[in-house]
Amino acid sequence: MHSFPQPALALVEQMAAAAAADPARAVALQGAPGCNSHRAALEYAPDCLPLPCFSFEDALDAVKEGRAARAIIPIENSQHGRVADIHFLLPESGLFIVGEHFLSIHHSLMALGDGPFAAAYSHPQALGQSRRYLRERGIVPMAYADTAAAAALVREMADPQACAIAPKIAAELYGLKVIDNNVEDAVDNTTRFVMLARQPLVPASVAGEAAMTTFVFEVKNIPAALYKALGGFATNGVNMTKLESYQKGASFSATMFYADIIGAPGDPAVDRAIAELEFHCKEFRPLGTYRQGRARG
C-alpha cells in the first residue's frame, strides 16, 4: 500500500489544495482525513489547514519543503508506549518541537451494515487498545496503515462482514454506520502529540511559564558514563520526565538516549544540569523547548 483508499483520496486532494494556497496555516499530519492526528491538529490549532500525508516521513518533508508551517506527530500513548520509529525520525528530521498536545483517544466501531463482523481493520495501536473488545466478540484484528484509512477501506471494500476501528468523525466522512462507541479497553487512553517546525522557539519566549525541553544524547563509552551524565539533573533539582534509549546504527555499540525535562535553558539549574550532561557526552542535540500541554507531577 502506497496511497490512501479511493474514498479518502478526494478529501486529501481538497485539503492539500487548501493547504497549498496558505502554507502558513497548514499543519502536516500522518493519516487519512478523520484520523486522530487530524483531530489533534484541529484541537491544537482550530484555524489550521490540516494536510494529510501517507507516512510520517511525508509529513516531516512537507514542513522541510515549506508546504506546511508545522507538523503534528504522535510520540507516545498511555497504553502502548512510544510510537514506533518516531525517536529515529525526529532527531534526523532537522525540525524542532515547538509545542505538545494531549488527545483523549476514543475509538468507534463502524461499518456499512449491522454485522456480525469477521474482521476489524485499523492501525495496530488502535487494535491493541481495543484488544479485549474484539476478542470478546470474536472479531479478527487486521492491521492497516491508519485508523481513518481503514474506515475508507471498509467503504471501498463494500464487505458487510468488515468493520473499522477509527475516530467517530471518520464514519461521518466516509458514510459508515457507527455500531459502537468507546470500544477502547482503557477509559484514560491518551496520546501525546508534538508540534514540529523548521525553527525552534527561543527559550526566553517561555520564561515564567511551565515549559519542557527535549533533547537526544550519546554518552562517552566509559564505565558509569550515563550515571555521571544524569547526576547533574538530580543535584540541580531538574525533573527528567522521560528517558528512553535506542540503538544508533547496526553495530549495537552506540546507544542514543531521548529525554524530556521540565524547564528551559536560561534557568540556572537547567543550564548547570545540561552543561554537566554535555561534559560526559559524545553527542548532545537539543530538539526544542516549548510550553507544557499538561502539567507534570
206-256 tens-digit pLDDT: 988 999 999 999 999 888 989 999 999 999 999 999 999 887 766 666 688
Confidence of residue 82 (pLDDT cuts 50, 70, 90): confident
Q: Which of 193, 215, 217, 257 is catalytic?
A: 193
Question: At residue 135, does pLDDT exceed 90?
Answer: yes
pLDDT recorded at residue 205 = 93
pLDDT recorded at residue 90 = 84
pLDDT mean across residues, the chain: 93
- Concatenate the DSSP letters of all residues of 202-247 into one string: PGGGGTTS-EEEEEEEEE-SSTTHHHHHHHHHHHTT--EEEEEEEE
In whole angstroms, give the CA distance from residue 273 to residue 237.
Answer: 9
* Domains defined for the chain, CATH in brackets: 6-105+190-197 (3.40.190.10), 108-180 (3.40.190.10), 206-291 (3.30.70.260)
Query: Nearest 5°: phi and psi at 186?
Result: -115, 130
pLDDT recorded at residue 272 = 98
Question: At residue 1, does pLDDT exceed 50?
Answer: no
Burial label for 234, CB within 10 Å (0-12, 13-18, 19+), is exposed
Question: At residue 274, does pLDDT exceed 60?
Answer: yes
Q: Is 249 helix (H, G, I), strand (E, B) or coil?
A: coil
pLDDT recorded at residue 79 = 74
- Concatenate the DSSP letters of all residues of 39-84 into one string: HHHHHH-TT-EEEEESSHHHHHHHHHTTS-SEEEEEEEETTTEEPT
The residues facing 192 across adjacent strands are 76, 102
**Taking Cα atoms as reference points, which of 279, 265, 281, 264 lies closest to residue 217?**
281
In whole angstroms, give the CA distance from residue 282 to residue 260.
Answer: 19
Q: Which of 56, 96, 191, 257 is catalytic?
A: 191
pLDDT tens string 166-204: 999 999 999 999 999 999 988 888 999 999 999 999 999
- Whether 193 is a known active-site residue: answer yes
In whole angstroms, give the CA distance from residue 266 to residue 188.
Answer: 35
- Concatenate the DSSP letters of all residues of 165-211 into one string: EE-HHHHHHHT-EEEES---S-TT-EEEEEEEESSPPPGGGGTTS-E
Q: Which three cell numbers stand for residue 249?
A: 546504527
pLDDT: which is higher, 17 or 245: 17
pLDDT tens string 18-74: 999 999 999 999 999 999 999 999 999 999 999 999 999 999 999 999 999 999 999
pLDDT: which is higher, 107 or 247: 107
pLDDT recorded at residue 252 = 66
- Whether 191 is a known active-site residue: answer yes
pLDDT tens string 88-97: 788 889 999 9
The residues facing 88 across adjacent strands are none
Judge contact between 185 and 227, C-beta under 8 A: no
In whole angstroms, give the CA distance from residue 105 to residue 103.
Answer: 6
